[in-house]
Amino acid sequence: MFLFILFLGAFFLPKTDSLQCYECSLDAYGKCNDKIAECPSQKSQCLASRVVAYYGENEIPQMEVKACAMPEDCIEGSINLGKIKSVQMTSCCTTKLCNNKFPDYKSTPNGKKCFSCEGEDCTQTVNCQGEENHCMKLTANAAGVSATMKGCASNLMCSDKIASMLSMYSGVKFSCCQGDYCNSAVSASPTLLLLLVPLFFLALFC
C-alpha cells in the first residue's frame, strides 16, 4: 500500500518546466533574430554572448549568439594587442527568456603592462585591461618570413584549448607568461602581421 501511494504521488506531482531561452546567431546581414527554445537539460542556463574586435576606437562585431548553454559554456576572455583587440563577452542567467540583451564591454586598465608590436617595433607598451593578467606572444613563419604579435591576454586565451587550436595552423606558436614585460621584445614583419591577425582571431573564437 505504501509503495502504491508513493507511486501515485510521484505520478501526479507537477512536472518541472524546462527553461526557455532566446536562441539566435548573427546572420549574413548582421542581425540576430530571436526565437524561443526549450532547453534540453535541467542544468541549462540562458546564454547571450558577443565577440567584438576593436581596431583603434572602431568596434567591429564578429559573432553574436543567444542559446541554451551549460554553465561551463559561460566564459569570457580578451586579447589586447594595443591598437587591435578582440573580446568575448558572455552573460548567463537562469530565468525564463532572461538572455534578451547582449552584454556590453566595459573595462579599465588593471596596472599590468606588456610589450606590443607596432610595425617592426615590438618595444611598445600596452596597458592590460580587466581580466587580462598574462602577457602573450604569437609567432608564425611563412615563405621564410617570421612575424610576431604581442600583447595582453586573459586566462581563457592562455588555456591549453586555445594553444591546441592554434597548433593546427602550421608554424604558429602561442605562449603566455605572467609578470610585466615578460613577453620580451623582438622585431616583427608588419606585412605578415596583418595577415595573421584575422587568422588568429578565427582560431581563437571558432
Burial 105-126 (b: 16+ CB within 10 A, else e): beeeeeebbbbbbeeeebebeb
Question: Phi, psi at residue 178, to the nearest 5°?
Answer: -120, 140
**Same topology between domain 18-93 and domain 109-205:** yes
Residue among 68, 72, 28 at smallest CA distance from 48: 68
pLDDT of 193 over the 50 cut? no
CB 113 within 8 A of CB 180: yes
- pLDDT tens, residue by residue, 137-157: 887 766 667 778 899 999 888
pTM above 0.75, yes or no: no
Which residues, other chains included, contact 27 with Cβ-Cβ below 8 Å and sequence gap of 6+?
33
Among 19-28, 71-80, 169-178, name the one with the lowest average pLDDT. 169-178
**Amino acid, single-letter form, for residue 182:** C
What is the rounded CA–CA span in Å between residue 25 and residue 34? 8
Which residues, other chains included, contact 139 with Cβ-Cβ below 8 Å and sequence gap of 6+?
146, 147, 148, 149, 172, 173
- pLDDT tens, residue by residue, 51-75: 888 888 788 877 889 999 999 889 8
In the chain, pLDDT over 90 holds for what percent of residues?
36
Sheet with 35-38: list strands edge to edge.
35-38, 20-25, 58-69, 45-55, 84-93, 77-80, 145-153, 134-142, 173-177
CB 47 within 8 A of CB 69: yes
CB 110 within 8 A of CB 133: yes
What is the rounded CA–CA span in Å between residue 49 and residue 27? 15
Would you state the CATH architecture of domain 109-205? Ribbon (2.10)
CATH 2.10.60 fits 18-93, yes or no: yes
Higher model confidence: residue 134 or residue 190? 134
CA geometry: angle 168, 171, 172, nearest 5 deg: 65
Which residues, other chains included, contact 167 with Cβ-Cβ below 8 Å and sequence gap of 6+?
none
Cell matching residue 182: 615578460
Domain regions of the chain by residue span:
18-93, 109-205
| pLDDT (average), residues 80-90 | 89
What mean pLDDT is reported for the chain?
79
